[in-house]
Amino acid sequence: MNQGRFDKVSIITVNFNQTEVTCALLESLRHLTYPNFEVLIIDNGSVKDDPAPITARFPEFKLIRSPENLGFAGGNNLGIKSALGDYFLFLNNDTEVDPGFLEPLVAKLESDRNIGMVSPKIRFHHTPDTIQYAGYTPLSNITLRQRLIGYREKDTGQYNQSCETFSIHGAAMMVPRRVVNEVGIMAEMFFLYYEEHDWAMRVKKAGYTIHYVPESLVLHKESISTGKESPLKTYYISRNRFLFARRNLTGLSRMASLTYLSLIAFPKALITYLLKRRFDLACSVWRAYLWNFTHLSYNRNKQSMD
């Protein structure tokens, strides 16, 4: 990091009916040691929980209210358009951070302009000695499955070496403004899930690398907003897995993946939920599958910051 100069970091978080959860994050942000940052809270059209206490309790941070729920990508994109920073740091509202977590992320990006995205080490908030994310393994071009490195392992320092990784983690990711200017903002048609991986693929196709930075630590409460096995989560994960393949794979890989999803993954999920008498989840899977055939026009074009 340049001595005597600290580039501005815009920290963006999205709130939806979770004022108290968001306030816990904001309280941790109050103790950051990095000297040049702003915090933008995007309220995504909350209807069950008034976000006004956020401004009352944290007047130094900026609350932006959207009249409707724009989804994860849309909410963060709204934050980008109002942000002043040289770096954008996207944090789930169900996280809390170490006071010194920003410095290593900025330093990593400043060390090499070919690095386009970074994510910190992420541990579970409820078991803070246990890892959730220490990088990603490569994504299978057929199943579109990948593995979180270190997932549910006790953190004994085994992943304390910074390294290149396949993708960032959506709960905590930093991107330079210059990279966003080049590749565009997040694709809002995803709404929820897979949008960060789609974004990461575009960043890598532009010639940048993605790095895991273990010197930075975030604690994640995980899945507070959507539930562990909710119809909402099932719908968007199922829908966007197919959409991701359509947007990011080509040639034989694209054909193989779409065939696998259509003939194996979707039918298997549908039958499994029916046998469990989870008709709500089976309906979500079926709707997700049909959506992809009624939205064939979505292409690979980037979304502009304008």
pLDDT score at 228: 67
b/e string for 264-278 if b means 16 or more Cβ within 10 A?
A: ebbeebbeebeeeeb
pLDDT score at 5: 77
Q: Is the pLDDT of residue 3 over 60?
A: no
> Of all residues in the chain, what percent carry a pLDDT higher than 70?
94
Matching residue, tokens 């740091």: 89
Q: Is the pLDDT of residue 178 over 60?
A: yes
Pairing of strands 62-66, 163-164: unpaired
Give the integer Cα–Cα distance in Å for 173 and 120: 7
CB 214 within 8 Å of CB 159: yes
pLDDT score at 285: 96
CB 237 within 8 Å of CB 145: no
Q: Which of 5-9, 134-138, 297-301 shows the lowest per-residue confidence on average (mean pLDDT)? A: 297-301
Give the integer Cα–Cα distance in Å for 140 and 214: 25
Query: Residue 244 burial (CB < 10 Å; 0-12/13-18/19+)?
Result: buried
Phi/psi of residue 90, nearest 5 degrees: -100, 120
More confident: 228 or 71: 71
Phi/psi of residue 52, nearest 5 degrees: -55, -40
Q: Is the pLDDT of residue 267 over 90?
A: yes
CB 106 within 8 Å of CB 37: no
Q: What is the pLDDT of residues 10-30, one digit of tens each?
A: 999 999 999 999 999 999 999
pLDDT score at 300: 54
Give the integer Cα–Cα distance in Å for 88 and 79: 9
pLDDT score at 306: 43
Q: Is the pLDDT of residue 131 over 50?
A: yes
pLDDT score at 165: 97
Q: What is the mean pLDDT of residues 233-248?
A: 94
Pick from 262, 255, 304: which is nearest to 285 by CA?
Answer: 262
pLDDT score at 303: 57
CB 38 within 8 Å of CB 46: no
pLDDT confidence of 39, banded at 50, 70, 90? Answer: very high
Q: What is the pLDDT of residues 181-236, one digit of tens each?
A: 999 999 999 998 999 999 999 999 999 999 999 999 999 997 544 456 799 999 99
Q: What is the mean pLDDT of residues 58-77?
A: 96
The pTM score is 0.91
In one-letter notation, the amino acid at residue 19 is T
pLDDT score at 107: 97
Matching residue, tokens 């794979």: 249
- As a whole number, the mean pLDDT across the chain is 93
DSSP state of 39: E
More confident: 229 or 7: 7
